[in-house]
A and B are shown apart, each in its own frame.
Chain A
C-alpha cells in the first residue's frame, strides 16, 4: 500500500509565499501530481514530477526528492482565489494489474487572508 501525508490546513497572507509539503512511502514509484480543488468543484491538475528537482510553472512550483519520499508545492504572490484544497497524489506500479495506480493524500486546505 501507500502512505501519503500532508498537513490538514494552512493559512497564509495575500501576496506572501506558502509551501505545502507532502511525504509518501511507496514501492514502484512513477510520479507525483499536485491537484487544486476549490470547494464543490472538480480537482484540476497543477503539476507533475517524476525526476528529482524543481518544476516551475508561473506562480506555482513543485519539488520532488525521490530518495526522501518528499515533495512540496510552492505558491508565490498568493491571491485570494488560491484559497482551495491542494491534493498530493502518488502514482505507483500496481503489481496486481501491471499498470499504474494513482493514490491521493487527504489534501491540504489553504486559506488566504487579506
Chain B
C-alpha cells in the first residue's frame, strides 16, 4: 500500500483481556518495527522483524507481549492479560532495507493503535 496501515486505531480493553493489534507495512519493505509511545513521551522500541524473522525482541516489556510476522508482510502484536500500564499508543514502522544497512534508513510510521486498559 501507499503507507503503513494499523488497525484498530482505538481499542478499549478491560484489565485481563487479550488484544491483537495489526500492522500492514509498505509493500516490499524488509524491516518492520513495533514501538510503544506513552502520553507525552517518545516512541520506545519493542521488537524488530527482518522479513519473517524476529531478530530483536529486547524491548518487549514482559512475556505477555508477543509479535509475529509469519509471511514477512503483515504483523500482529498481541498483548495477553492486559494491565493498566499497557495503555499507550502502539506504533508500527517499516523501512525498505534491513538494519544492517548503514546509510539513511528512514522509517515510515503508521498512525498507531491507541490502547486504553480500564
Q: Tell me whether chain B's interface is mostly helix, strand or loop, or mixed.
A: loop
Residues of chain A within 8 A of B45, CB atoms compared? 101-103
Give the 9 A-B residue pairs with the shortest CB-CB distance, closest first: A104-B42, A99-B99, A42-B109, A48-B104, A106-B42, A42-B111, A99-B100, A107-B42, A43-B109
Give A49-60 as 1s and 0s: 1 = Cβ < 8 Å from B's Cβ atoms: 010000000000
Report the Cα distance A42→B35, complex, angstroms: 12
Question: How many A-B contacts if CB must be within 8 Å?
Answer: 65
Partner-B contacts on A (CB < 8 A): 4, 30-31, 33, 35, 40-45, 48, 50, 87, 89, 91, 94, 96-107, 109
Say which size band chain B's interface belongs to.
20 to 34
User: Could you say which of B43, B58, B104 contacts A43, with CB atoms under 8 Å apart?
Assistant: B43
CB distance A87 to B42 under 8 Å?
yes
Known contacts A43-B91, A107-B42: A100-B100 contact under CB 8 Å: yes
